[in-house]
């Protein structure tokens, strides 16, 4: 008998979208790790940029999994709600944007200590 294949969501993958640079070019997670200071804050993004960022991140994560208080979402379910821009889609978006915000802030604080 073979062991089951276990796959995990990888929200830190270098090629995943992480936001936008000041010149409105897309930034990846690799950019966020290397130099988060040049990536726009989540608060500076337009509504369209926020939706596009979260949708692009989830589309590139086939093993996406999110457990909100009221339901569990895989990639397909999350994308359905994101495309509808319904209240559940807004919750999924907020969760992902909050995570990216905290990650960027933490990374900027780590790098600031080095200087």
Mean pLDDT, rounded, for 83-96: 97
| Percent of residues in the chain assigned helix, strand, coil, to nearest 5 | 55, 15, 30
From residue 67, give the alpha-carbon distance in Å to each of 72, 77, 104.
4, 12, 22
Direct distance between the N- and C-terminal alpha carbons of the chain, in angstroms, rounded to an integer: 54
Helices of type H across 3-86:
29-34, 47-59, 75-84
Mean pLDDT, rounded, for 101-110: 95
pLDDT of residue 115: 63
Which tokens belong to 69?
């208080």
Predicted model pTM:
0.89
Q: pLDDT at residue 104 above 90? A: yes
Q: Single out the residue of 9, 85, 75, 13 nearest to residue 50, CA to CA.
A: 85
Q: pLDDT at residue 48 above 80? A: yes
Mean pLDDT, rounded, for 11-26: 93
Q: How far apart are CA 77 and CA 93, in angstroms?
A: 13
From residue 3, give the alpha-carbon distance in Å to each of 6, 63, 65, 108.
9, 19, 22, 41
Q: What is the rounded average pLDDT for all residues in the chain?
A: 92
pLDDT of residue 2: 57
């Amino acid at each position: 008998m073979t062991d089951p294949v276990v796959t995990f969501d990888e929200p830190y993958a270098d090629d995943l979208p992480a936001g936008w640079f000041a010149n409105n070019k897309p930034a990846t997670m690799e950019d966020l790790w290397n130099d988060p200071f040049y990536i726009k804050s989540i608060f500076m993004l337009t509504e369209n940029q926020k939706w596009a960022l979260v949708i692009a991140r989830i589309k590139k994560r086939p093993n996406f999994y999110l457990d909100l208080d009221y339901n569990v979402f895989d990639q397909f379910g999350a994308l359905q709600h994101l495309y509808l821009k319904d209240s559940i889609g807004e919750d999924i978006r907020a969760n992902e944007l909050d995570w990216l915000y905290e990650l960027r802030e933490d990374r900027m604080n780590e790098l600031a200590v080095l200087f």
